Amino acid sequence: MSDRMIKVGIQGASGRMGARLIDLIRADAELTLVAAVDRPDHPRLGDDVGLILGCGSLGTKLTAEIPLGADVWIDFSTPGATLALARVCRDRKVPLVVGTTGLEPEEKAELAEIARSIAVLAAPNMSRAVNLLMKLTADAARAIGRESDIEIVERHHHFKKDSPSGTAVRLAEIVAEAIGSNAIVHGRSGLVGERPRGEIGVHALRVGDNPGEHTVVFGLMGETLELSHRALSRDGFARGALDAAKFLIGKPAGSYKMSDLLE
């Protein structure tokens, strides 16, 4: 291992995102995997994570404890585990990338407090293209948002636990800020009446193994503008998380965004 290689720890290592991260770390000359953490009742704790994921021995065991030695941690797990790891990173002064979504407001607040001690980059979507979608959505909402009916539609695999997706929530916040309205409506049912201007509709579809799609619809009289992103695999999210991990090395404490490293 070269001295200049960045030592990465992954939490949620045997999950869908963990598996893609570990596979991409193997192919990255700047990164090496030194820790793979998963839930305390995982049936394969103590086994080589590479053998668990079917990519051959990697020399890193799956553990429930958070071992020493990582230069940076990447978390794609569940909100409770995210906060537990964040506290450890704070105590050890190690930067942290958080991809986990569905954090409650108080969990987000604690993460922001921890980011006063270490560098933290938390993003509901690590894909470069989705972050460009966010920028384009802000531009479009500023230009035509006040005269449009704006609806956000997301599709994800049926295993997804939180709804709507963290990305859809962020897109709704971006639109709300741009048009000066907080009237976010989740789905519609019953005799809801005519759609008022300024409402931001959010709709979550759960279908098959879809890795994630987001569309922002701007409905005008006589025309419609749609901005869409479709993930074809999880690699766009995983590559973004690895770029974020590299970006955080040597950074001062603070809350960073994907736009900080994309700009």
- How far is C-alpha 40 from the chain's CA centre? 23
Choosing from 26, 61, 102, 204, the residue that interacts with ligand NAD (CB under 6 A) is: 102
Give the span between the Cα atoms of 173 and 216, in whole angstroms: 12
Q: Which of 108, 157, 158, 160 is catalytic?
A: 160
Residue 198, amino acid: G
- The footprint of ligand NAD on residues 150-209 (CB under 6 A) is 162
In the structure encoding, which two tokens stand for residue 101, read together?
A: 């979504």
How many chain residues are in contact with ligand NAD, going by CB under 6 A?
25
- 78 part of the interface to ligand NAD, by CB under 6 A: yes
- 24 part of the interface to ligand NAD, by CB under 6 A: no
Binding mask 30-59 for ligand NAD (x = CB under 6 A): -------xxx--x-----------------
Choosing from 10, 11, 174, 215, the residue that interacts with ligand NAD (CB under 6 A) is: 11
Of the candidate spans 76-84, 135-143, 194-202, 216-224, the one that interacts with ligand NAD by CB under 6 A turns out to be 76-84
If the CB atoms of residues 145 and 236 are measured against ligand NAD, the closer one turns out to be: 236
Least Å from the CB of residue 85 to ligand NAD: 8
Residue 58: which H helix or E strand, with range? none
- 97 part of the interface to ligand NAD, by CB under 6 A: no
- 126 part of the interface to ligand NAD, by CB under 6 A: yes
Burial, 154: exposed, middle or buried (Cβ in 10 Å; 0-12, 13-18, 19+)? buried
Question: 3-state class of 73 per DSSP?
Answer: strand
42 is catalytic: no
Residue 145 is given by DSSP the state: G
- 77 part of the interface to ligand NAD, by CB under 6 A: yes
156 is catalytic: yes
- Candidates 8, 18, 13, 3; CA nearest to 94 is 8
Residue 49 is given by DSSP the state: H
- 25 part of the interface to ligand NAD, by CB under 6 A: no
Least Å from the CB of residue 224 to ligand NAD: 27
- Angle subtended at Cα 89 by Cα 255 and Cα 81, rounded to the nearest 5 degrees: 90
> Radius of gyration over alpha carbons of the chain, in Å?
20
Choosing from 7, 16, 108, 246, the residue that interacts with ligand NAD (CB under 6 A) is: 16
- Candidates 206, 227, 205; CA nearest to 150 is 227
CB nearest ligand NAD: which residue? 15
Give the span between the Cα atoms of 107 and 122, in whole angstroms: 12
In the structure encoding, which two tokens stand for residue 248, read together?
A: 């955080």
- Angle subtended at Cα 153 by Cα 131 and Cα 228, rounded to the nearest 5 degrees: 45
Least Å from the CB of residue 38 to ligand NAD: 4
- 145 part of the interface to ligand NAD, by CB under 6 A: no
What residues line the site for ligand NAD (CB under 6 A)?
11-12, 14-18, 37-39, 42, 76-78, 81, 99-102, 123-126, 162, 237
